[in-house]
Amino acid sequence: GAVVSQHPSRVICKSGTSVKIECRSLDFQATTMFWYRQFPKQSLMLMATSNEGSKATYEQGVEKDKFLINHASLTLSTLTVTSAHPEDSSFYICSATSPYSGDVLTFGAGSRLTVL
């Protein structure tokens, strides 16, 4: 079945630095990818929707200059947290769909970001 790989699974960085998280579809072409943020013991918050070859669509309240999303190919989307601060510490999860997977959303394993 469809597999989405997310890397790194854990990252610790200093305040003020930037961190890039990669999301890859391993065995299918992902025309659409979604980035979620999950706070402890809470549900998923959709941050943005990225479509291959076009700009991401951000949800209300998400700073697009802080959370840069790039979906340059059908198998790779990246989320860059710029000038990270401790309040950006969270669990970030990507997911993907494609015209060939129907309406099933396939998730990556998530990336735990800790900003010191």
Partner 1 sequence: GDSVTQMEGPVTLSEEAFLTINCTYTATGYPSLFWYVQYPGEGLQLLLKATKADDKGSNKGFEATYRKETTSFHLEKGSVQVSDSAVYFCALTDRGTGNQFYFGTGTSLTVIP
Contacting partner 1 (CB under 8 A), which of 84, 95, 96, 115?
A: 95
Site for partner 1 in 46-75 (CB under 8 A): 46, 49
CA 48 from centroid of its chain's CA atoms: 8
**Inter-residue contact 19 to 112 (CB < 8 Å):** no
Among 81, 96, 106, 115, indicate the residue that binds partner 1 (CB under 8 A): 106
Report CA torsion sign: 95, 98, 2, 4.
Answer: negative
Q: What does the binding site for partner 1 look like in residue numbers (CB under 8 A)? A: 4, 6, 34, 41-44, 46, 49, 93, 95, 97, 103-110, 112
